[in-house]
């Protein structure tokens, strides 16, 4: 594997009311009993108030009761709000340090900035970058939607427009398109993906299975994932229900990906992953499942917006993206020490100039531990030409390090 190229890889009745359903607007009268006012209960002896510890335990018990009773709103309130009096009603607040927006408020804020991308052979999602029609999405969405004819976008208000490609970057699976003849669009507010933390609440917006305007909720499950996507045959789905039907995606390795448990399905690709403030923090890109069945469990991945913005700016400016070049071919290590085994070093490359040789075992690159060849490939793609990167490697049982000045890939 070249470090600068993709790496392959029924019957119930009215049990609550008896056999006869209730009349419209009321409950059955046949079981109604007229009762006089009950006698007042004897006064209860006054008990001492709760200590701080007892209050904390009581709060946990209330949360457990809410979860056991299936009160979703109560669990959301427990997760995102400070404890309040026991008599207060559950809330659906979607709270962060800087705001107190509800889930519906965040969705309402972001939905005008998320579009559905349609073509003759596939569908996907995209995020509006500018009022005059620039839209950020995945490269594989553009490839799928653009084959065999025109590509169009559908906006949140139901209006549609033809779209053309501004630029694509298969290496990062990102692309920018332009909706033609539009103005006054609502551009997404960009956040800072470097500030994300595991456990942060997020919403995923897009057009899963052709259902435009869909919103799902979850958390950041993990950060800085390296994954290889594409190469597999896409699952066959009914027309209008997916992003690509029966087509193999080009293999690419993505580093620094955001993992989330917010539901992401075919058609979500290119859509928005936003934080509790409604700021765009990622571009939904891939899912991993434990099988191909409809009941399989899956997790979603998104490209960090800081990476996506860097790529988008270049695509908008010149239509292409410059990538860093290291100059080694690597494969996964097979011994007890995890890493990437150098199979070949390109002559006159940055790797050769830094002293790397065939047979070296790369264990760290740019301060990140290397689990295998994918880590090296993904990390190099995340660096910029001219950037100096420290590489730690093993040679003949001894650990060494070298500083490599990356060059632009030709």
For the beta carbon of residue 291, count every other beta carbon within 10 angstroms. Answer: 9
Give the number of C-alpha atoms closer than 13 A to the C-alpha of residue 32, restricted to the C-beta side: 7
Annotated active-site residue in 125, 169, 173, 214: 173
Q: Is 218 helix (H, G, I), strand (E, B) or coil?
A: strand
As a residue count, the chain comes to: 410
Q: Tokens at residue 141, please? A: 């969405």
Beta bridge partners of 151: 163
Annotated active-site residue in 113, 140, 228, 261: 140
CA distance 223 to 256: 7
Question: How would you write 42-62 as a 3-class SS string?
Answer: CCCCCCCCCCHHHHHHHHHHH
CA distance 27 to 58: 35
Closest CA to 127 of 216, 172, 200, 189: 189
Beta bridge partners of 181: none
CA distance 376 to 322: 18
- Specify whether 269 is catalytic: yes
Closest CA to 201 of 28, 312, 81, 62: 81
* CB-based contacts of 326, cutoff 8 Å, min separation 6: 3, 4, 349, 350, 351, 376, 380, 404, 406
Q: Tokens at residue 366, please? A: 């740019």
Annotated active-site residue in 193, 269, 329, 349: 269
- Specify whether 318 is catalytic: no
Q: Is 402 helix (H, G, I), strand (E, B) or coil?
A: strand
Residues designated catalytic: 140, 173, 269
């Amino acid at each position: 594997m070249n470090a600068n190229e993709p790496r392959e890889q029924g019957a119930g009745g009215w049990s609550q009311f008896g056999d006869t359903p209730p009349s419209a607007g009321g409950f059955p009268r046949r079981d109604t009993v007229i009762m006089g006012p009950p006698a007042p209960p004897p006064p209860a002896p006054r008990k001492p108030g709760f200590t701080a510890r007892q209050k904390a335990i009581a709060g946990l018990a209330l949360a457990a009761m809410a979860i056991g009773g299936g009160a979703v709103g109560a669990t959301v309130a427990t997760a995102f709000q400070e404890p309040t009096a026991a008599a207060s009603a559950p809330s659906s607040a979607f709270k962060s340090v800087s705001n107190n927006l509800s889930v519906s408020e965040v969705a309402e804020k972001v939905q005008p900035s998320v579009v559905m991308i349609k073509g003759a052979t596939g569908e996907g999602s995209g995020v509006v970058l500018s009022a005059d029609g620039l839209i950020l999405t995945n490269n594989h969405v553009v490839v799928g939607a653009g084959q065999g004819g025109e590509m169009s976008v559908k906006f949140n208000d139901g209006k549609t427009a033809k779209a053309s490609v501004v630029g694509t970057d298969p290496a990062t699976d990102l692309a920018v398109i332009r909706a033609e003849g539009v103005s006054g669009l609502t551009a997404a507010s960009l956040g800072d993906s470097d500030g994300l933390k595991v456990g942060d609440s997020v919403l995923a917006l897009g057009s899963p299975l052709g259902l435009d305007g869909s919103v799902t909720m979850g958390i950041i499950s993990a950060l800085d994932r390296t994954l290889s996507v594409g190469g597999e045959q896409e699952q066959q789905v009914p027309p209008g229900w997916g992003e690509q039907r029966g087509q193999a995606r080009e293999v690419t390795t993505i580093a620094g990906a955001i993992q989330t448990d917010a539901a992401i399905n075919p058609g979500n690709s290119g859509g928005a992953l936003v934080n509790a403030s409604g700021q765009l923090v990622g571009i939904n890109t891939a899912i991993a499942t434990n099988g191909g069945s409809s009941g399989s469990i899956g997790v979603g991945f998104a490209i960090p917006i800081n990476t996506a913005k860097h790529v988008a700016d270049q695509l908008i400016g010149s239509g292409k993206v410059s990538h860093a070049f290291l100059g080694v071919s690597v494969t996964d290590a097979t011994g007890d020490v995890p890493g990437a085994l150098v199979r070949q070093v390109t002559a006159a490359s940055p790797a050769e100039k830094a002293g790397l040789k065939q047979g070296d075992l790369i264990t760290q690159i740019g301060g990140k531990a290397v689990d295998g060849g994918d880590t090296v490939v993904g990390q190099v793609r995340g660096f910029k030409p001219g950037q100096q990167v420290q590489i730690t490697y093993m040679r003949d049982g001894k650990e060494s390090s070298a500083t490599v000045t990356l060059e632009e890939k030709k």
